[in-house]
Structure 1
């Protein structure tokens, strides 16, 4: 078992539990989708600042504080429940993002009542640039699947050992794909964005997200260990079809 618990859960192939209901899977999926949506709604629109020693004031997107938690939960899903169930959750998150973008567009576009004076503020918060929305959704989809695939493959190679290496290694790969897609697609050649600035923000955000994942490793160990004990299973993707274009478990 990855957490080193003496009462190890039973190691099973993902195919052995295909279609089987599991006790906490739905709750983990709900947490993933909720954090994904909230980090995009509440965090994406604000640029915060932190005073770093020897550096000074450093701006950052507020969403970075919570969006990486979705990657942590993605790691937990793959490690505990296997790639197929993580794949199903990624598609659920993608569909939720798509609906959120559509709902935001419709609500912002509705003519406001004459006595309601908050339309400008509403547009500032919820009005989304289509290019950025598209880039965000594609980057999320690709990055999460790379993250899940790398973790599942590393689990087979390591025989379920060294959870920290799998979570950090998969995040390095997944966040790299996410950042390499999102920042160029969203900001390259946009007004006020030079190529150098896009690359600087890309590398900075990638490093911060990976660092955040590393800091949360003890939490990941606790959650993974508890869920494996409660479910009584340790899932290995020995005969899994790793295509991302399915939703069955």
Structure 2
């Protein structure tokens, strides 16, 4: 079987190419992002570690690492500018979801519908948590993408595992450092020590997830590069986060 040719390409020239799978990867990225915020952002669960005991962690850790893995794939295969565009698309989607959740929760329930309290408990998120989540996502993902893209140039495309884990250490560190203090510091039931412990545990678990999923990342990245026929390098890329153009 003939192996498709993979062309090394500067990111600025990518707009001239037809991309077969970019839209699907972006859709997966935004889907995972929305699910992570609906299902896991506000819940603290516990994990029992032998010799350590119970450690609290945010339940969103089950989803957020998948978002970072897909973000790594976007940056590695399609370059920083397209990853940044997806991050902005995800940010707008989060804002729209938060606004519509507020509207739907605020609508007066029908007299014979008795599930308003349950609905509010699930979808009536505190504005502080919502904004903290959006800011943390935006900053963390952009740091993750920029670090990975720059490391790819520095390493001449070698050691993908080092780039994905290193960028996650930086990106998830920024995410956790922003989200938990903004969302919960000073809130009822959240002591300063608990905020710090949960933030550090969240960061460590996310990085661990990223490391564990490295074989999956390698597989998807290699397949996409072969199918697209490209290997993008951000050699003269403008890394400003305040744009969405490619």
Tell me which interval the TM-score lies in, with the shorter structure as reference length: over 0.9
Instruction: Decide whether the 8 Å contact of 1:45 with 1:125 is kept in 2.
Output: no
The residue number in structure 2 matching 1:138 is 135
For structure 2, the residue ranges without an aligned partner over 5 or more in a row are none
Q: 1:6-53 CA deviation, whole Å, 9 max, x = no partner?
A: 876110100111254301000000000001001111223444443332
TM-score normalized with structure 2 length: 0.95
Q: Distance in 1 between matches of 2:28 and 2:81?
A: 18
Number of matched residues? Answer: 244
Q: 1:178-214 CA deviation, whole Å, 9 max, x = no partner?
A: 1111111111122222222111111111001111101
Structure 1 residue 37 corresponds to structure 2 residue 30: no
The residue number in structure 1 matching 2:195 is 198
Q: Distance in 2 between matches of 1:57 and 1:207?
A: 15
Structure 1 residue 247 corresponds to structure 2 residue 222: no
The residue number in structure 2 matching 1:67 is 64
The residue number in structure 1 matching 2:24 is 27
For structure 1, the residue ranges without an aligned partner over 5 or more in a row are 1-5
Q: 1:118-168 CA deviation, whole Å, 9 max, x = no partner?
A: 000000000110111111000000000000000000000000000000000
Q: Distance in 2 between matches of 1:183 and 1:137?
A: 12
The residue number in structure 2 matching 1:3 is none
SS at 1:51 equivalent: strand
Q: 1:44-76 CA deviation, whole Å, 9 max, x = no partner?
A: 344444333234444433221111100000000
**Measured at CA, do residues 110 and 201 of structure 1 come closer, stay the same or move farther in structure 2, by a change above 3 Å?**
same
Q: Distance in 2 between matches of 1:19 and 1:29?
A: 19
SS at 2:194 equivalent: helix
The residue number in structure 2 matching 1:110 is 107
Q: CA RMSD in A?
A: 1.5
